[in-house]
A and B are shown apart, each in its own frame.
Chain A
């Protein structure tokens, strides 16, 4: 069986999991549905893991070198981050929205060219894996905080979400993601120094990654200031993820630079 088979299987698992997730969302206590939803997501993640491993084997390099590969990896990290957040923070009520987001992400991935291309010399480096894994895990954590901040800001009736819990989810996911983004940017700098002899060149992708990093640093420090209530903080978290998206996708289309590996 090929990568495509496993990826389709993962997609179907995620899709089917929307049914129990919807139950979990609408009904307060639905432990069996919750379990079913979790099993489906785990199965999906396993299938997606196999797909990633197969692609790694077939191409001979880490599957993170173009837009298609990185989107699939992002989706994988997103699901993993969700399971992790659910384990620690009990966020199965957000599951429906996270899975919808993830399915959209996968469909966007499928709209890209999936053919295997040879690696250009600059990408042949061991730093690639560290750089991409840390960046995308941080993006995944921030994506979880984004969904939580949406739930916070959208006018859901009170019985659906506890704002206090959502604030903790936002905060904890950002806290989890921040060191990863830091390492992602730092490993990129070390790699750039190895490949081009310059650890920082203010190329648009770098600048936007730094801006994103500053927004989340801003979030962490705004929490220390009394005048900033949780609603405003949720707004900052939401904005932060919009910056993630622009750094990841927008820069490729709108600003040109060294990182223009992806179209």
Chain B
């Protein structure tokens, strides 16, 4: 009976069309997406194979790779779920528009979600990002996006990198002069001569190393790491008759003085807290400077569709700056969707406080009572 079969399939088609536009499907999809997202937060994402193997063992790691659990949010099955949700919302919207039974707020909210998903897909496929490590004075005109060089269309030169710290109120140098009065306390800055009151001595701090080591062969001090394991400063003392330098260690914090060095020094170290990382840059076009500005965290540079962010820096010498260059056409779509959803939510929720006293059901007609 081909006619009956046809009827049946039409009915099936109609039913599945109904289902794809139903709140029931929304509920099912959310019930699936919630544990999926949790999985993606519990399993660290996008790490190296060896890291998983060490943490979870080879068996689990193999399973993770097979099921894309190491990159849940980029996996095909996550994409399918999101696209299904998009189709669900879209058909729900189409139905509501055809039957004209929804508020403007409802339309805005659910339309914005489509936009949100679209924006996310655009970002996932079209976003360009690369890192620029620039020394002071160095210029870049392109960046590396996954092995491909992308031209900027202009040149970016790092004029100067500036690392600002908060006033370090706890770090100090204490100086005990021979004669036994109370030792002096100084807050100091590098390479700044300071007079010691009541004496004809002055001092300056010439070097700081966080992890002091001494190389016997070259007879030079160096820092073994960036960690403050053994902070030390090199203090230069200048008096009428003498002029010498001396390393002072925070970890050996007693004044130590000898008969030929009767001035006691003590170094109290405290963590310096960075206040700002600032890259002073110039933009050049055809060799001419067209713009000069500063890139800071929370203050990116935007130029010709690219955004340049302060991403990292040389924490030892303060000579290079790490910038991130981004071009993401999805961002605008996302921001538009944010404005839309907020508008819709405000209209629908805050401006209709008394609208619903009783529950209204979406599946009233379809449910057998």
Contacts and interface: CB of A to CB of B under 8 A. Distances in A.
A223 to B, nearest CB: 6
Interface string A219-258: 0011111110000000000000000000000010001000
Interface string B265-303: 000000001111100000000000000000011111000
A207 interface: yes
A229 to B, nearest CB: 10
Contact of B361 (A195, A200, A208, A225): A225
B37 A179 contact: no
Given A194-B300, A218-B31, A211 B37 contact: yes
A217 interface: yes
B140 interface: no
Interface string A151-191: 00000000000000000100000011011001100100110
B360 interface: yes
A208 B357 CA distance: 31
Contacts of A199: 123, 331, 334
A255 B42 contact: yes
B361 A221 contact: no
B48 to A, nearest CB: 16
Contact of A211 (B34, B334, B342): B34
Task: Choose among A121, A175, A217, A255 the residue with the greatest number of B CB atoms under 10 Å from its CB.
Answer: A121
Interface stretch (B1-9, B200-208, B237-245, B344-352): B344-352
A199 B276 CA distance: 22
B342 A182 contact: yes
A254 B45 CA distance: 15
Contacts of B338: 186, 189-190
A215 interface: yes
Contacts of B307: 197
A200 B324 CA distance: 16
Contacts of B334: 189, 199
A87 interface: no
A194 B41 CA distance: 23
B41 A204 contact: yes
Nearest to A254: B42
Contact of A210 (B24, B37, B350): B37
B345 A214 contact: no
A218 B41 CA distance: 20
B33 A214 contact: yes
B364 to A, nearest CB: 7
Contact of B27 (A124, A200, A207, A222): A222
B23 to A, nearest CB: 5
A121 B297 contact: yes
A261 interface: no
Given A182-B345, A186-B338, A211-B34, A224 B361 contact: yes
Contacts, number: 119
B227 interface: no
B342 A215 contact: no
A19 interface: no
Interface residues of B, number: 54
A214 B42 contact: no
B307 to A, nearest CB: 6
A175 B349 contact: yes
B363 interface: yes
A125 interface: yes
B30 A214 contact: yes
A178 B41 contact: no
B342 A179 contact: yes
A198 interface: yes
Nearest to A193: B331
A190 B299 CA distance: 13
B349 A178 contact: yes
Contacts of A183: 342
A179 B349 contact: yes
Contact of A186 (B331, B341, B346): B341
Given A182-B342, A195-B309, A225-B363, 16 more contacts: A88-B353, A118-B273, A120-B274, A121-B276, A121-B298, A124-B298, A178-B345, A182-B345, A183-B342, A195-B297, A197-B324, A197-B328, A207-B37, A218-B27, A224-B362, A225-B361
21 contacts: A88-B353, A176-B349, A186-B341, A190-B335, A194-B299, A194-B300, A195-B309, A196-B309, A197-B311, A197-B326, A202-B40, A202-B45, A202-B73, A208-B38, A214-B30, A217-B30, A221-B27, A223-B359, A225-B24, A226-B361, A227-B367
The 10 closest A-B pairs by CB, nearest first: A179-B345, A121-B297, A224-B362, A197-B326, A207-B41, A197-B309, A204-B41, A118-B166, A186-B338, A125-B298
